[in-house]
Amino acid sequence: MSDDKSKISKNARDIAENAAENTLALNPLVSLRAEDMFSAGTTLMRAMASQPQAMMNQWMSLTSDLTKVVTQSSEIAPDRKDRRFADSGWNNNVFSKGIMQSYLAWAEKLAETVEELDLPDKDAARARLVTSIFIDTMSPSNNFFANPAAMKQLFETGGKSAVSGLKNMLTDLTENGGLPASVDTSKFKVGENLAITPGKVVFRNEVIELVHYTANTDKVHKRPLLVVPPQINKYYSIDMAPGKSMIEFLLAQGIQPYCISWRNPTAEHRDWDMTTYIEALDEACDAALEITGSDSVNIMGSCSGGITLSTYAGWLAAQDMSHKINSVILAVCVLDTMASTDSDMAALVTPATVQAAKLASSSRGVLDGQDMAKMFAWMRPNDLIWNYWVNNYLMGNAPPAFDVLYWNADTTRLPAGLHGDFLDMIYTNPFLNPGEMVVGGHEIDMTKVDYDTYVIAGTTDHITPWKAVYETARLYGKNTTFILSNSGHLQSLLNPPGNPKAWYMKGDAKQADPEDWAEKATKHEGSWWLDWGEMLKTKSDKLVAAPKKPGSKKHPALGDAPGTYVFEP
């Protein structure tokens, strides 16, 4: 029995770690509309009907493959990284193996058929998208009666797994918007086992709380690090459980971290736009400067927080106030919207879908985080839907208890104003086109922004692809260091020292082509945090006596970290 528990635990951990590679700090802002999917499917069917030769070639090949499957002479096998067919039952049972091989053969031929069709690039991308979703949905691993692991679980538990699976499904239908739950939320609580690094809220306005963390070294560097998290999801991704908290690491280096916690807006805040957020950020920056007595901050932003940070830098430059910032750190952040549209999902982003998304959030006042999560789930259905479908419903297991997935499910809303501003960036590309974005009456011109900059990307990041993030580094100019970490989106950031599999590449962002950069960059074993910590020490001014407590007379403590805004539903 202990072996079974160990196996279940390992399976849950594998599911969680795999899904964590696909967590989201900036969810897709354009809804996946049924009419767009229907239109893409219709275009695909018409192309198949008008180009029968492409279909004929693949289906003749499929007939040959299926003949070999029936005669048990087929050598078709899943990719060894394909977790859907990892259970030994798929190969030990002739019936199950035949179903698996038939599916794999069909899926391959269907995908190849779509590739052979003569379609315009945009239509081809849409065809690939709807086809991949259809193929993933039809996998026999998603079928209770075809999945040997699910049937084995049924008999070994005397039917209890089926009862548990049904309960899980009913719970998700009523409490999770119909999607399989990705995490056991009962195992986590913010302020108790997440976001527990000591600190105080030292500034609060209608939009933000500013958390000043308590120093735990005798001396600290005078210049603070101001962290600007994404507006979607709560800020505590930088302060997860002890051992993988970025804040915990920074404090040990003698750095003074200050972190913004954005308020979770409601419909009454529908008018909050980029100007609202930038002005609130500026107030937080002033508070950190006053408390520390420093003349400038180092400032860090990830994903949409990096977009906000960059807008702030341009806003300061437009007013000759660039001196407030000493250096910039950007993580998994894409500023060139044209560099980020290389996925098939981007083919569904059209002026019509953007306008529809604007109208939807405008009518409701906000863009709900759960709606965005559903959109993202269908971008990677195997990772974010079907593996939980199998685990929760077919196997009857509880969803995994993994802190990163808890954070990912702790979504927030975007006010209609800010949502509209983000959507406008898709087509105006304001960071490459000076004057396209105006914030508080000031035109944003990134050519006027000049800081030493440190940019981090992840090798397997599907949300902000590393080559697109490299363009962000190039945008910030010649004094930019680019770090490429060997993980996905959030996992590339939550990369504390001690992981034996961790490595990163480092180099100046001088090459125009990211592949050229990769050839010339230096590979380092271990976590990039160590390099980051040393870099921050050189940018953070002299060592001074650590403050006895967070805050100052002008900015006294208003309450304990993690504050109050982080708990707003």
Calpha distance 308→301 (Å, rounded):
8
Q: Out of 259, 285, 303, 333, which one is annotated catalytic?
A: 303
Cβ neighbours of residue 524 closer than 8 Å, sequence gap 6 or more: 503, 504, 505, 506, 531
Calpha distance 302→288 (Å, rounded):
19
Q: Is 439 helix (H, G, I), strand (E, B) or coil?
A: strand
What CA dihedral angle connects 182, 186, 187 and 188, to 10 degrees?
90
DSSP string, 329-380: EEES----GGGG--SGGGGG--HHHHHHHHHHHHHHSEE-HHHHHHHHHTTS
Cβ neighbours of residue 344 closer than 8 Å, sequence gap 6 or more: 125, 126, 128, 129, 132
Calpha distance 529→520 (Å, rounded):
21
SS (H, E, C) 142-163: HCCCCCHHHHHHHHHCCCHHHH
Calpha distance 438→151 (Å, rounded):
59
Calpha distance 282→402 (Å, rounded):
35
**Helix (DSSP H) and strand (DSSP E) numbers for the chain:** 20, 17
Residue 194 has what DSSP assignment? B
Please compute, for residue 558, the number of CA atoms within 13 A of its CA located in the half-sphere on the CB side. 16
- Residue 303: active-site member: yes
Q: Is 137 helix (H, G, I), strand (E, B) or coil?
A: helix
Cβ neighbours of residue 511 closer than 8 Å, sequence gap 6 or more: 517, 520
Catalytic residue positions, numbered: 303
